[in-house]
Amino acid sequence: MTVEYVVMLLYCLIIVSIMLIKAIFDTNLTSYEKRLLVLSLVYEFVLIFVETLSSLMSLGYINNIIWLHNLILFIYFTTLALTNFTTFLLLSVITGYITHENKKRRLIFMIPSLILILLSFISIWTGWVYYIDANGNYGRGPINFIQFIVVAFYLTFIGISSFIKSFMKKYYAVRKIHMSIIFYSLVPLLGVILQYTVNEISNKLYPLILSSFTISSLIIYLRLLQNQVQTDYLTEIPNRIQFMKYLSSKMNHDASNLYLFILDINDFKFINDNFGHLEGDRVLKILSSNLKNFSKLTGYFIARFAGDEFVIIAELKKKTLEEALDLINKYINKANQELNDERYNLSVSVGSALYDESITSIREFINKADLDMYKEKDKFHNNNGAI
């Protein structure tokens, strides 16, 4: 153990602290993602902090009390397990592999971490995973390798899963996310290899595993920052990025009676050209506000797709397609009443598509709903005449 080792740990601690503070005050992440991110960073902070304390004890800068050192090491291995599981869970949520409702799946993947925590606790007396010798120095027990198996399990699983999905058509919309996660999983694995090879060759000890975890956390956080602008600035409802992410998750996990609705304001250009863009913005805001109320009532996902186009994702388990369309039109009429403008009448063409196994990608699903929407738009123009 060297002073350089401790300095590297302190640098990691500073980086994780900055990310943690920023994550706590971040208002753009979804509540579940934010909770997992903050939790994983808290665990990582504790992990690096207790490793720093252990190192200072070994160097003699802190009074090396054997029972206290044992307790610190137990906390280290416990937080190592929790950090890996929570980060794995966060990545699984980002990719849609595990959702908030998948309690059984979460419990199954928690088993390796629980095994490491249990063995670490027993090691206080048995020294199986770690031990403190008479001089107060840390030593590796006969099954110390269990920590690397647990770490490798989570990294390998999420890495291989993302690698496979990155080549699948139906995950096209989130391909960049999967590529980032592949890179995330490789960095700590490289850290594990370097921890043994570099340290053995140089006869010096460097915290390469913990450093690699810090780098990986930074990769995850940067990826989340790229995707965090998920609310449309004008209408204050989810934007296209969030829509693509949500639809991808639904198509791969719960596609029963899954419908996609595309809403397009008829002759929106006429409103902008004749009454100004501020009036056009008012139309978009009022329609969005009513769609938001519709979403609160039904639980359906709504988003602004582009310009004057909106999308709704609904699982029609209790309602028929006709009932859902009637309800959508009811809220469009409410928006019209709220606009209360005699110069024009708000009219929206609504197209729909039901997801089935023949649809192989998000693009196909959107095109199917889009074609139906344009049929409705043609009916509108035939009945009213194009402006």
Query: Residue 222: its pLDDT value, please?
Result: 77
Question: CA geometry: angle at 314 spanning 308 and 316, to 5°?
Answer: 140
Topology given in CATH for the domain delimited by 240-384: Alpha-Beta Plaits (3.30.70)
For the record, the structure tokens of 141 come out as 């027990």
What does each C-alpha distance from 172 to 112, 178, 362 come to in angstroms? 31, 10, 8
Residue 127 backbone zone (phi > 0: left; psi -120 to 50: alpha; other: beta): left
By three-state DSSP, how is residue 266 classified?
A: coil
HSE value, Cβ hemisphere, 13 Å, CA-based, for 342: 0
Of 262, 176, 213, nearest to 88 by C-alpha is: 213
Query: Interior CA angle at 123 toward 111 and 103, to 5°?
Result: 15
- Tell me the torsion sign for CA atoms 167, 360, 327, 254: negative
Residue 266 dihedral angles phi and psi, to the nearest 5° = -75, 130
CB of 239 closer than 8 Å to CB of 37: no
Q: Is 340 left (phi over 0), alpha (psi -120 to 50) or beta?
A: left
User: Which tokens hold the place of 30?
Assistant: 């979804």
Strand order in the sheet with 309-315: 301-306, 309-315, 258-265, 348-354
For CATH 3.30.70.270, the residue range(s) in the chain are 240-384
For domain 3-227, give the fold.
Rhopdopsin 7-helix transmembrane proteins (1.20.1070)
- C-alpha 156/C-alpha 24 separation (Å) is 29
Q: Give the C-alpha separation, 241 to 229, whole Å.
A: 8
pLDDT for the residue 155: 87
pLDDT value at position 196? 67
Tens place of pLDDT for every residue, the chain, 387 residues?
678 889 999 999 999 999 999 888 876 666 677 888 899 999 999 999 999 998 898 888 888 888 899 999 999 999 999 999 998 988 887 776 776 667 888 899 999 999 999 999 999 999 999 998 887 778 889 998 898 899 889 988 988 888 887 777 556 555 667 787 888 788 887 887 777 676 556 566 777 788 888 888 888 877 776 665 667 878 888 888 888 888 887 887 666 789 999 999 999 999 999 999 999 999 999 999 999 889 888 888 899 998 999 999 998 877 889 999 999 999 999 999 998 877 888 899 999 999 988 888 889 999 999 999 999 999 888 887 554
Checking 334-339 for CB contacts under 8 A at 24+ apart, the result is 334/290, 334/293, 335/286, 335/287, 335/289, 335/290, 338/286, 338/289, 338/290, 339/282, 339/283, 339/286
From-to residues of CATH 1.20.1070.10 in the chain: 3-227
Q: For residue 381, how many other CB atoms are within 10 A of its CB?
A: 14
3-state SS track over 131-180: EECCCCCEEECCCCCHHHHHHHHHHHHHHHHHHHHCCCHHHHHHHHHHHH
